[in-house]
Amino acid sequence: MFTFTEGQFDIAVIGAGHAGCEAALVSARSGLKTAMLTLNLDSIAFLACNPSIGGTAKGQLVREIDALGGEMGVNADKTCVQMRMLNEGKGEAVRSPRCQCDKNAYHREMKRTLENTQNLRIIQGEAQEILTENGAVTGVLTTYGGILKAKAVIIATGVYLNAETVTGGVRRKSGPSGFAPATALTENLVKLGFGVRRFKTGTPARLDARTVDFSKCQVQAGEDGTPCFSFLNSEPAGNRQVCHLTYTNAQTHKIITDNLGRSPLYNGDITSAGPRYCPSIETKVVRFADKERHQIFLEPEGEDTNEIYVQGMSSSMPHDIQREMYRSVEGLENCDIMRYAYAIEYDCIDTLDIYPTLEFKKVKGLYTAGQINGTSGYEEAAAQGLMAGINAVRKIKGEPPFVLGRDEAYIGVLIDDLTTKGTEEPYRMMTSRAEYRINLRQDTADFRLTPKIADTPLFTDERRKAFERRKALYEKALTELNARADRQKAEKLLERLNIAGGASGASYADLIKRGCTARDIIKEFGALCDIPDDIARSAETTVRYEGYIKKNEQQIEKAKKLEKKPLPEDIDYDKIQGLRLEARERLKRVRPITLGQAGRIYGVNPADVTVLIVWLASNKQN
């Protein structure tokens, strides 16, 4: 092959999905010369599945991305057509913002942002080989012979590696939504030493809105007053469109069960691991055979299209069965399918091959981020892209790595799970994965994380002003809540709310701990009247769960003692007496960098950690 030098860069990013966009922007905004290689400029930041950002636990990720200077939240706010706060009826720890986006606008806005970012060059092309020398990255070779010389490379190829779509008996070499797959890179990754496996995900049909009878469906409107994703936006998000809710029924389920022999998931055509927490409609009907119906959400794809996304009904059934299946649902009796559902299989890596910085253990300067790491979802991908970008920048600048702990962010939980425990199926972030989720609320992401970027170019003047404003208002709210409440008014409020007990000497904070809300305090006493609603609610939550938060902080401090004890990179676990065989094999596979990480590995129990502690002490390792 004839080769030529495409350019000399500090960082080259392969892929322009949600991980690639964040990685490229972090690099360029940090002042490094950056290249972003993408198969197709029309697929930049493409919402290949659900036209939404956020959701349970995912909303926390988006707010953390924003707090660290990322772009996803900013872009979602620009293109929002509906905003809701999920789990409002549950505790604050699991409440999560979710934005319905205009799909095409999201792509256009992100592409515009990338194109107008200094130090960033976007190139359409396919990566064929990661170039290395003496165990370190030197660049990327494209299928056209172009060489992108680089000091670090971030692979963010999404679901495109050797991608194949499957619908019924039809299997096609294709990426999402008909985009071309990436067929040249997997072989090179194997040669470099990556463990490669095959995962699967899927997407539902898109319907023509003109053929849906929305009068038979329940309206799902947005919620006025819901804060935007980005902490740069002080105004609540807007709501311009509505979604609808309908349900499958006995007829739908019969159509599916009668035709399981034609389903690639059940006739053996698809054998790769799929997402357990986002199953196809076939899987739901089979796995939950006792359920009479399943929720189906009808979501607009944007303001310039009639396409409706049928959330909850992804499938790989043949087209004729899909047509019959969708038309059995109330409101969809006469629907026309514009894009049929499909499953997609793709190559991804074993994340035990990478460090918590997302750098590959066997090649210096080579990072991976997004669905190539076995995750499922835009938000999980963007979070990894941001962290890979930050760490690649810091490595080039000779600065220490940036790794978030499980006690600091959902991003920390996500990456620790991937690099310590690994994943055997597409990984999805959930609030239940975070041990300290009351400390990791979506409303406090900036207070937790923005100070960590204070000495970087990501901490712009705009972000500094927004952060200082919010922090000052939040601290003012906490101060006001500690003031003593008027006794008579307080007793009347408690009586009206049927809360027992007197109010002598009670502060507003005391009243909140007994069941009052910030809105009650504002209405009854006039306190907090100049505090924005979202910040008042944050202060209310901090006060209400003060005991739980302090208990978590004590547990966090205890865990940090183990987290601060490093393990030597060249440790020979075979020579450590007392380690069980399973623990020894798992430790050799993961190569943990601290005692804390070692203790979170599957197959390593507290007794094994004790053995490591004794070994460290005897070898005078601190």
Check which CATH number belongs to the domain holding 302 and give it. 2.40.30.260
* Residue 371 belongs to some domain of the structure: no
pLDDT at 501: 86
pLDDT at 267: 94
Single out the residue in 327, 342, 357 at which a domain terminates: 342
Q: How far apart are CA 288 and CA 283, in angstroms?
A: 8
Single out the residue in 527, 551, 575 at which a domain terminates: 551
Residue 446: partners with Cβ closer than 8 Å, 6 or more residues away: 63, 66, 67, 231, 466, 467, 470, 471
Please state the domain count of the chain.
3
Shared domain check, 277 and 325: yes
* Residue 212 belongs to some domain of the structure: yes
Single out the residue in 551, 582, 601 at which a domain terminates: 551
pLDDT at 562: 85
* Residue 124 belongs to some domain of the structure: no
* Residue 505 belongs to some domain of the structure: yes
Shared domain check, 338 and 223: yes
Shared domain check, 591 and 465: no
Scanning the structure block, which residue is given the tokens 């504002």? Answer: 522
Check which CATH number belongs to the domain holding 600 and give it. 1.10.150.570
Pairing status of strand 146-149 against strand 136-142: antiparallel
Shared domain check, 327 and 214: yes
Containing domain of residue 605, as a range? 564-618
Q: Read off the tokens for 129.
A: 């080989």
Nearest to 507 by CA among 493, 492, 487: 487
pLDDT tens digits along 385-444 = 999 999 999 999 999 999 999 999 999 999 999 999 999 999 999 999 999 999 999 999
Scanning the structure block, which residue is given the tokens 């190139």? Answer: 123
Tell whether the torsion through CA atoms of 419, 423, 429 and 432 is positive or negative.
Answer: negative
Check which CATH number belongs to the domain holding 481 and give it. 1.10.10
Please, are residues 171 and 249 in contact by the beta-carbon 8 Å criterion? no
For the chain, list residues with pLDDT below 70: 620-622
Q: How far apart are CA 603 and CA 95, in angstroms?
A: 33
Shared domain check, 531 and 581: no
Shared domain check, 572 and 539: no
* Residue 330 belongs to some domain of the structure: yes
Q: How far apart are CA 488 and CA 599, in angstroms?
A: 54
pLDDT at 560: 86
List the beta bridge partners of residue 227.
236
Shared domain check, 591 and 483: no
* Residue 242 belongs to some domain of the structure: yes
Q: How far apart are CA 552 and CA 550, in angstroms?
A: 5
Shared domain check, 476 and 574: no
* Residue 573 belongs to some domain of the structure: yes
Shared domain check, 611 and 537: no
pLDDT at 558: 85
Shared domain check, 593 and 476: no
pLDDT at 285: 96
Q: How far apart are CA 142 and CA 185, in angstroms?
A: 9
Per-position DSSP letters for 272-308, written without gaps between them: SB--TTS--HHHHHHHTTT-S--EEEEEE--TT--EE
* Residue 518 belongs to some domain of the structure: yes
Residue 179: partners with Cβ closer than 8 Å, 6 or more residues away: 39, 40, 42, 43, 46, 160
CA 94 to chain centre: 15
Q: How far apart are CA 418 and CA 353, in angstroms?
A: 10
Shared domain check, 504 and 583: no
pLDDT at 622: 47
Shared domain check, 284 and 311: yes
